[in-house]
Amino acid sequence: MLPYILKIKDMGFLKMVYRASISLVLVASIVLFTGFMRARKIVTIVDGKEKAQFLTLKTDVNEILKSKDIDIFDQDFCDVEDDGHDIKININRAVCVYLTVGTERRSIRINSFATVADVLKESGVELGADDIVNVNKEENVYNGMEICVNLVRYSLREEVVEIDFKHETENTDELYEGETRVKTAGQKGELRKRYKDKFIDGKLVGTSEEYSNVTKNPANEIILKGTKKKQVKPASKANAPAVYRKVISGKASAYTGGGFTATGKKAARGLVAVDPRKIPYGTKLYICSPDGYVYGYAVAADCGGMMINGSRLVDLYMNSEQECQRFGVRDVNIYIL
């Protein structure tokens, strides 16, 4: 009887121990669950247009991002808000902008909060006072933005320009009419000019004159012009024909080269050019000069501009250039036969 009673008592004790164990496990579970609920974090990640929300016990931002296979690259920016219970991570991805300086173009990765001025500073671009930027330097950058910097440079240069001299004429009775002589040779002057050239990206786009200064004045050329009249001597009886109707005196020149005359005749010695209004074509002539030169008998068969304008009385045809040069220009007497 006694052993049975003891057995019953042991069973009661075991039940008490079991119940106590169950209660202890429940209490521990409640404590752990309560601790978990208090320790957990509600994490919100905003990455551009993508948004994710989840629970985690992690508190380190890098570990949280790593757990979700989210990479942060150079120039990306993370804005973290942690109120002790919730964590909000805003990821601002860097943007790619294109910077052209002069003729060199390159791409630059920079955070989206940056301005154009930040891009220039980050790239080591120091703007000159006259350099041109196509966008406002305070403007925020965006993906694919084109920033162009035109480099403006100025260069000074000098050059010397010649100043032409003028021609002055003085009359003199020491020379015959038609003769000239240089009394004072002309000298060119000098004008020094300074120019300012404007270059944009190495190309010349404009030039302005800064100043000009005459460093040497020109000296005018003085030419003496003859006024002395030549006395036309009558032909000697040795040169004059025995019979003639009248005599005309004036200046003569010489020409050669072949061809045909104005009257259709083949050019040859003895056929001379005249002003047909004064000496009609076909008129027979005898030509000699006061200095003793005798051209001889000739026929008026050609004409020329010098005869028409009155600067020559007659143009004598010669057989060669040498004869023409030897004759030159001289006074002659034309005997109308």
What Å distances lie between residue 255 and 139, 238, 267, 272, 300, CA to CA? 85, 26, 10, 9, 14
Q: SS3 for 221-236, per residue?
A: EEEEEEEECCCCCCCC
Q: Note the pLDDT of residue 1.
A: 47
Domain assignment present for residue 219? The answer is yes
Domain assignment present for residue 239? The answer is no
Structural domain boundaries enclosing 10: 1-32
| Residues whose CB is less than 8 angstroms from the CB of residue 116 and which lie 6 or more positions away in sequence, other chains included | 133, 135, 136, 137, 138, 139, 141, 147
CA dihedral 271, 274, 277, 281 (to 10 degrees): 0
Q: Do 82 and 113 have their domain in common?
A: no
Asked if 96 and 118 touch (Cβ cutoff 8 Å), the reply is no
What Å distances lie between residue 207 and 81, 196, 203, 295, CA to CA? 59, 6, 12, 66
Q: Do 252 and 314 have their domain in common?
A: yes
Q: Do 100 and 65 have their domain in common?
A: no
Q: Do 74 and 18 have their domain in common?
A: no
Backbone angles phi, psi at 257, to 5 degrees: 120, -5
How many distinct structural domains can be found in the chain?
5
pLDDT one-digit tens code per residue, 5-48? 445 455 665 666 666 667 665 655 554 444 444 556 788 887 77
Can you tell me the distance from the alpha carbon of 262 to that of 245, in angstroms, rounded to the nearest whole number? 25
Can you tell me the distance from the alpha carbon of 199 to that of 153, in angstroms, rounded to the nearest whole number? 5
Q: Domain of 292: which CATH number? A: 2.40.40.10
pLDDT in tens, the chain (337 residues): 445 444 545 566 566 666 666 766 565 555 444 444 455 678 888 777 778 888 887 777 788 778 777 887 777 777 788 877 788 888 888 889 999 998 899 998 998 888 999 999 988 999 999 999 999 999 999 989 999 999 999 999 999 999 999 999 999 888 888 888 888 999 999 999 999 999 999 999 999 999 899 999 999 999 989 888 766 555 455 567 888 889 999 999 999 999 999 999 999 999 999 999 999 999 999 999 988 899 999 999 999 888 888 889 999 999 999 999 999 999 999 999 9
Q: Note the pLDDT of residue 79.
A: 77
Domain assignment present for residue 205? The answer is no
Judging by beta carbons within 10 Å of its beta carbon (0-12, 13-18, 19+), is residue 117 exposed, middle or buried?
middle
Q: Domain of 187: which CATH number? A: 2.20.230.10
* DSSP H helical ranges for the chain: 2-39, 61-67, 116-122, 305-308, 321-327
CA neighbours within 13 Å on the CB side: how many for 81? 8
Can you tell me the distance from the alpha carbon of 166 to that of 170, in angstroms, rounded to the nearest whole number? 13
Select from 194, 283, 2 the least CA-distant residue to 271. 283
Q: Note the pLDDT of residue 131.
A: 93
DSSP strand pairing (284-288 vs 77-82): unpaired
Q: Do 17 and 85 have their domain in common?
A: no
**Tokens linked to 88:** 């909000």
Can you tell me the distance from the alpha carbon of 206 to that of 197, in angstroms, rounded to the nearest whole number? 6
